Amino acid sequence: MIKDLLHSAPSLLNFGVYFGLAVLLLLAVLGFVTYGILSERKIMGFMQLRIGPNQIGGKWGLLQTVADVLKLLIKEDTIPKKADRPLYILAPVIAFAPAFMVLATLPFTDAFQFADIGVGLLYYVAISGISTIGIVTAGWASNNKYSLIGGMRAAAQMISYEIPLVMSLVGIVLLTGSLNLNDIVAAQEKVWFIFLQPIAFIVFMIASVAELNRIPFDLPEAESELVAGYHVEYSGFRWAFFMLSEYVYMFAMATLTTVLFLGGWNSIPFLDFIPGAIWFGLKFSAVFYILVWIRVTFPRIRADQLMEFGWKVLLPVALANIFLTAIIKEIVSLF
Amino acid sequence: MSVSGELIAFFGVALVAILGGVLLITLTKVVHMVIALVFTFLSIAGIYLLLSAEFVAIVQILIYSGAITIVMLFGIMLTKHRENDEPSKGGWRKFSLLLAIAGFAVAVYLGIYDLDIPVQPTALHEENTKQIGIELFSKYVIPFEVMSVLLLVALVGAIVLAKKDNEEGDRS
């Protein structure tokens, strides 16, 4: 349906339909964020032998996040006197807008996807890099030393971990021969890339957790040393925007992991009577659960260890993986 | 020339690019300038996209808006600098500047207005990532390799410089 829409003549009606679909996706993502946070807190509680939210909205605390968001909405919006006012206001926008933009190319199922561009994989990496500028700007504009340190750490970390992230994907691109996410899913119809590229998968998981600024790598907002990092001075809905962009990125990253390594909406053999959307949902939930699991299990690493690990371990491993993939591909194609 | 979606998109993107450039010159705080520069970079990527050079557009965002800007921000934030540059003064200087700008504008207008670029149908817009790759590794292998050696030299040089600094710091 979307493909017909993209190829049809431009008109106001088509624009309206497309706009409506985008709003629908935004609402769906907001719904995911609401219940993603709740499930994350529940899983964390379960793993740490606590109960987790259980007061608002019945036994499972189903309305806990809704109440939290409401509280943020009606909270006073403070701007520090010495802050750089225009940048302080602009920073959450720069941080959030790319988070939603990256969703445009992600194929959820063969029918439910928005844009199908040739360089979809690079598009994700490039656009998500813009968010870093928002975070650095926020850290600088707050005029607070903790937030500045947080912003600096965010920039350093995102630059160093973006490289192994991209390098780990080169193996997949070599095997598929395309940067298009649809082609990548189509190439996994028989074997998922997690089995063909296990090293790449491990490197990708680690680098993606670092890109998401989640716990073993959450130095930009390490609350025990930097109070809250780059968003110390933010409150109310501006702060919510940073959190929102973080969770939308989590949504996008889980989707990307599913598409790249777990075969997207492809089913496992003999079970293809189950629709692709359900397969996608299952795999997506599994990736999300693993991300939460990592957060609960690992302690935060030190800043110097972070850099050393990224440059001295992840990058060489990713490069070796490219080398290995190229050699194996050539040997296989000989026969 | 009829008004099409492409034209509107081009004007929007071009406007942002020029605005970013103007703001880059007129703003007084260095960090504000870098943010204005980001908008220029992004809208230039938009123009590439309108010319259906998707790979170049994405790489523009990845390298310029992502990496280079952040390195610049790092440099600015971590070094000492005057927060505000003083505006230059002098009536004569401004007047001659105006004349020069007007002359440049006229020259560019005259140059562009009658410019005729012969258009020939090409297949460059189809799968241009693949085409770039094939060109790069068949026709332009030597320049590509020389570039990589150059970058390697720069990398090694940077490491050597950083290393030296560190040792002196340890001794003192």
- Assigned token pair, B65: 């808006």
Residues 6+ positions from A123 with CB-CB distance below 8 Å? A102, A105, A117, B58
State which of A51-60, A109-118, A202-211 shows the largest mean pLDDT: A202-211
Q: Looking at the partner chain, which of A87, A117, A162 has a beta carbon nearest the beta carbon of B54?
A: A117
Shortest CA distance from A125: residue in chain B: B62
The residue-averaged pLDDT of A213-230 equals: 76
- pLDDT given for residue B172 in this prediction: 45
Q: Which residues of B touch A90 (CB under 8 A)?
A: 35
Q: Which residues of B touch A14 (CB under 8 A)?
A: none
The residues pairing with B29 across neighbouring beta strands, listed in sequence order, are: B84
- pLDDT given for residue A8 in this prediction: 67
Shortest CA distance from B49: residue in chain A: A117
Minimum mean pLDDT among A82-96, A208-222, B43-57: which range? A208-222
Q: What is the pTM of this model?
A: 0.83
Q: Nearest CA to CA, how far is A287 from chain B (Å)?
A: 26
ipTM for the whole predicted complex goes beyond 0.95: no
Q: What pLDDT digit, counting tens, does each position of A248-271 carry?
A: 888 899 999 988 888 878 777 777
Q: Which residues of A touch B83 (CB under 8 A)?
A: none
Q: Mark yes or no for CB contact A130/B58 under 8 Å.
A: no
Candidates A8, A117, A119, partner chain B, best to mutate (most B CBs within 10 A) = A119
Q: Is B77 helix (H, G, I), strand (E, B) or coil?
A: helix
Residue type, A244: L
Q: Nearest CA to CA, how far is A291 from chain B (Å)?
A: 25
Task: Give the residue among A91, A38, A72, A95 at the shortest CA–CA distance from A213.
Answer: A95
Candidates A7, A105, A133, partner chain B, best to mutate (most B CBs within 10 A) = A133
Q: How far apart are CA A114 and CA B88, in angstroms?
A: 51
Q: Residue window 127-156, chain B: list those with CB within 8 Å of chain A.
A: 127-129
Q: What pLDDT digit, counting tens, does each position of B71-128 carry?
A: 787 777 777 665 555 555 667 888 898 999 999 999 988 888 877 777 777 777 777 7
Task: Give the residue among B21, B18, B1, B7 at the shortest CA–CA distance from B50.
Answer: B7
By residue count, chain A amounts to 335
